[in-house]
Amino acid sequence: MSAVPATKPAFDVLDMRNYALEKLPELPAGIWAQRLKLIGVPLAVLVFLFFHLHWCGPIGIFDAQTKIKPATLLYSATGLFLASLILWITEALPNYLTSLVVIVVTVLTGLMTYQNAFAQLGQPVMILNIASFVMASALVVTGLAKRLTLTLVLKSGLSLDKMFIVFIILNIILGAFISATSAKTAIMLPVFMVIAATYGATGGTKRNGVGRNMVLQNLLYNNVGASAFLTGSAANLLAAQQLEKAGARVLYGDWLMALLPLAVIQCLIGWWTGTRWLLPIKEEDKVPKLDGGIPRLKEELAKLGPISKTEIRAGIVFLIVLGLWATDSIHGIRAEVVALTGACVVLMPAVMGLPRLGVIKWDDADIPWHMLIFSWGAYVLGAFVDSTNIVGLTMDALFKTWGITAATPKVLVFGVMAALFGYTTLVSESKTARTLIMFPIIIATAKSFGWDLIGFALPMAFMINQVYVLYYNSKPANISYLTNQYSMWESFKFGIVQLTLAVFLLILWAQYVMPLMGFKSALW
């Protein structure tokens, strides 16, 4: 008698555990991505040698410099700068390995001493990054982030418009403390996937406007929400560091005041244009198709039990830290010191018989060291680019060639720069690499014409996190595509419209709103 094969349990579309990131299928690299990886290393080596060994011939703007001795450093700096960008963009090597290679070559070519290169690991923004990840871990480990997400979503009932507004609020709140957008995706994706399933959107052949909007709207809110805060992403911190090296320090409160309202406005525009025009939700799709969606979310919330003392302590620490960050212009304590203090508190054990202040142990802290090593290499690269001024010299030469002078309308220069910064996301997955390329150009442009650095460059930072058009533009975009709730065309249609609107909105914001906040106008 033959054994009866065991039946595979049916997939429960309302079980949040089925939407954990580790259960999503992996997306294989496309043919062009594979080809780029193959040519990345040899191409980077050839580009470096082309400049380092002077195969390029004499470059007048470099040879005329007397401040940099020997002038050959300018050639080596250019070669290493371009080679590193090739490696980061093609991902021929893991990004952290590219950074380590950059650091070694920087020292061996004499672009920086090893003391200066290694000192970049201790940059204040690195400390801010580490401390922020420690505090974000406390938010996740204690369950406070999940409790906040479920509570606010349940408050909206099954009103679709209310739920989209709730997700905007959640992404903005979590963006203040969690600088890894993929971590925010991990927290919220199971929640909005259960909601989508409740309305009959289970992916594949069962797609509808609710599912498309649930995933794509949250992808937009996640990334745009990161633009609202200095600590919203590592690339934001890199931009702030480059501005500070150029002599224009951006305070946390300044960033918050300038870009938080703009982020909220863009999210609201995305919600309205997406649900009403680009990805309209049919009337029949607005009616729940499955019973049990809200009860399942309530069950998940009930599993957390009553709010714990550790959650309360974590919440208090976050509110105090955010308050101190937002008021740094008043008390003068740097954001890095505030963040490090917050990290100390959430890690603090019981001492001398006193009750424990902390809420996590060091092993609980989810610190992505590979990303920090990547940032280290980016800071080293930024340091020698700044010291050699290769970008500034190149931009000055290009401006002369193109006939761009101080008489050229500022709004035209700003608009072109903003569009270039925004649309380069279509060909690059790395926000940090794009920032590393574009921000020195933005700073050099402002310096060339004597424009206010913060007034011109700070609004440009809003384009850093506009990474939602195609699935390879960011890790959250990749994860969202794997939900199978929308097609590539739907993603492109929704994303490219939002990106274009963001560019025009930014121009209006920089010209008419930021001056009212006390910033010098970027455009007049």
> Do 291 and 226 share a structural domain?
yes
CA distance 337 to 514: 28
User: Highest mean pLDDT: which of 63-77, 115-129, 350-364?
Assistant: 115-129
Alpha helix positions (H), 450-523: 453-457, 475-481, 488-508
Q: Tokens 């649930």: give the residue.
A: 214
Q: Which helix (H) or strand (E) holds 295?
A: helix 293-303
Residue 90 confidence (pLDDT): 83
Give the CA distances from residue 213 to residues 216, 223, 476, 499, in Å, rounded to whole numbers and listed in that order.
Answer: 5, 15, 15, 16
What is the average pLDDT score of the chain?
A: 88
Nearest CA among 113, 96, 121 for reference residue 387: 113
Q: For residue 67, what pLDDT band results from cuts at 50, 70 and 90?
A: low
> Do 229 and 81 share a structural domain?
no
Is the residue at 469 inside a domain? no
Q: For residue 320, what pLDDT band results from cuts at 50, 70 and 90?
A: very high
Is the residue at 481 inside a domain? no
Tens digits of residue pLDDT in 111-152: 999 999 999 998 888 888 899 989 989 988 999 999 999 999
> Do 138 and 93 share a structural domain?
no
**Tokens representing residue 307 in the block:** 């709010």
Tens digits of residue pLDDT in 33-48: 777 788 999 999 999 9
Nearest CA among 466, 432, 403, 446 for reference residue 223: 466
Report the residue count for the chain. 524
Judge whether 177 and 12 are in contact, CB under 8 Å. no
**Long-range contact list for 427-431, CB < 8 A, 24+ apart?**
427/89, 428/89, 428/473, 429/91, 429/472, 429/473, 429/474, 430/88, 430/89, 430/95, 431/233, 431/234, 431/235, 431/464, 431/465, 431/467, 431/474
3-state secondary structure 147-172: HHHHHHHHHCCCCHHHHHHHHHHHHH
> Do 201 and 63 share a structural domain?
no
> Do 98 and 205 share a structural domain?
no
pLDDT higher than threshold 70 for residue 10:
no
pLDDT higher than threshold 70 for residue 11:
no
Please state which of the ranges 349-358, 373-382, 423-432 shows the lowest mean pLDDT. 349-358
pLDDT (average), residues 283-291: 85
Show the domain range for 272. Answer: 131-309
Query: What is residue 56's three-state secondary structure?
Result: coil
DSSP states along 408-424: S-HHHHHHHHHHHHHHG
Residue 514 confidence (pLDDT): 94
pLDDT higher than threshold 60 for residue 290:
yes
Is the residue at 330 inside a domain? no
CA distance 329 to 155: 36
Give the CA distances from residue 513 to residues 188, 259, 431, 516, 523, in Å, rounded to whole numbers and listed in that order.
Answer: 32, 11, 26, 5, 11
Q: For residue 410, what pLDDT band results from cuts at 50, 70 and 90?
A: confident
* pTM confidence score: 0.89
Q: Tokens 């990131």: give the residue.
A: 21
Q: For residue 215, what pLDDT band results from cuts at 50, 70 and 90?
A: very high
pLDDT higher than threshold 60 for residue 502:
yes
pLDDT higher than threshold 90 for residue 224:
yes
pLDDT higher than threshold 90 for residue 305:
yes
**Tokens representing residue 279 in the block:** 């990805």
Residue 481 confidence (pLDDT): 92
> Do 110 and 189 share a structural domain?
no
Is the residue at 322 inside a domain? no
CA distance 431 to 475: 10
Is the residue at 462 inside a domain? no
Residue 41 confidence (pLDDT): 94
Q: Last residue of some domain: 309, 328, 349?
A: 309
Paired with 206 in beta bridges are 203
pLDDT higher than threshold 60 for residue 268:
yes
Is the residue at 66 inside a domain? yes
Tens digits of residue pLDDT in 149-185: 999 988 887 689 999 999 999 999 999 888 888 888 8
Residue 315 confidence (pLDDT): 93
Judge whether 188 and 149 are in contact, CB under 8 Å. yes
Q: Last residue of some domain: 360, 389, 418?
A: 389
Residue 69 confidence (pLDDT): 58
> Do 272 and 224 share a structural domain?
yes
Residue 2 confidence (pLDDT): 53
**Tokens representing residue 500 in the block:** 């274009």
Is the residue at 209 inside a domain? yes
> Do 280 and 175 share a structural domain?
yes
Q: For residue 68, what pLDDT band results from cuts at 50, 70 and 90?
A: low
Q: For residue 387, what pLDDT band results from cuts at 50, 70 and 90?
A: confident
Residue 449 confidence (pLDDT): 85
Is the residue at 423 inside a domain? no
Nearest CA among 171, 168, 250 for reference residue 460: 250
> Do 281 and 188 share a structural domain?
yes
> Do 220 and 169 share a structural domain?
yes
Residue 413 identity: V
Residue 108 identity: L
> Do 180 and 59 share a structural domain?
no
| Count: domains in the chain | 2
Q: Last residue of some domain: 262, 282, 309?
A: 309
Q: Please state, as a whole number, how many other Cβ atoms lie within 10 Å of the Cβ of residue 498.
A: 25
Torsion sign (Cα): 463, 464, 466, 469: positive
> Do 135 and 89 share a structural domain?
no
CA distance 463 to 419: 9
Q: Which helix (H) or strand (E) holds 237?
A: helix 234-245
CA distance 84 to 470: 24
Task: Select the more confidently predicted residue: 259 or 89.
Answer: 259
pLDDT (average), residues 496-520: 94
pLDDT higher than threshold 70 for residue 353:
no
pLDDT higher than threshold 70 for residue 323:
yes
CA distance 91 to 84: 10
